[in-house]
Chains A and B, each alone.
Chain A
């Protein structure tokens, strides 16, 4: 049973560039959420995708955008990268995205902006 997979595992980008991170949810899951985990902090909610639509968003600027495909996989895009965007980006999948369900996390993509 494939868990949540994310790619790439590590990425180095220059300030001002754009980046795309990818996530495949756990088999049978239809909801994908993205989190940013800065060093020494807990994960912070970026947004959630369900039925190919963004249905909830955290306190992140519009530079952060996403997409969900018909097969439920998802992408996170970050434009005009800042040094402060350096973090571990986590993808979590669940079924239906309801609050009383378990979210399964991937290993994350470590993004370094230089």
Chain B
């Protein structure tokens, strides 16, 4: 069975600081990887996704993530955070076989202070 670990449960940063949120998954086969964001009071939105190809993927709002297959990792990065990035971030994975069944991590709550 697949599982996803997000190591940082709460992160507090000042504006302009750099961000890196860790995500590791366990699954032996080919996977599709996602980062979703949930702003306060809003629905889950896709930040970025990796299906295949270049392991460095760029998403919306200046976010990027790097898929490192040998480490089973898909860490999320942003060089300079803004107050508006305050939200909860979820890493998710699904096996690239069969049907779409997303397995989520427990989430990282990011607070950016102005």
Instruction: Name A's B-contacting residues (CB within 8 A).
Output: 3-4, 31, 33, 35, 40-45, 48, 50, 55-56, 58, 90, 92, 94, 97-108
**Considering only CB atoms, which chain B residue lies closest to A59 in the complex?**
B1
Cβ–Cβ < 8 Å partners of A48 in chain B: 99-101
**Given A90-B44, A100-B32, A107-B43, are A44 and B104 also a contact pair (CB < 8 Å)?**
yes
A103 → B minimal CB distance (Å): 6
| In contact, B49 and A102 (Cβ under 8 angstroms) | yes
Q: Which of B62-114 contact A (CB under 8 A)?
A: 90, 92, 94-107
Question: DSSP class of A's interface residues: helix, strand, loop or mixed?
Answer: loop
Inter-chain pairs besides A43-B44, A100-B51, 9 sampled, C-beta below 8 Å: A40-B106, A40-B107, A50-B99, A58-B101, A94-B100, A98-B99, A102-B46, A104-B46, A106-B43
| In contact, A97 and B99 (Cβ under 8 angstroms) | yes
A3, A4, A90, A107 pick with most chain B CB within 10 angstroms: A107
A113 → B minimal CB distance (Å): 22
**What is the CA–CA distance of A3 and B98 in the complex, to the nearest angstrom?**
25
Q: Which of B29-54 contact A (CB under 8 A)?
A: 32, 36, 42-46, 49, 51-52
Cβ–Cβ < 8 Å partners of B4 in chain A: 42
B74 → A minimal CB distance (Å): 14
Which one of A3, A92, A99, A104 lies within 8 Å of B32 (CB-CB)?
A99
**What is the CA–CA distance of A105 and B46 in the complex, to the nearest angstrom?**
9
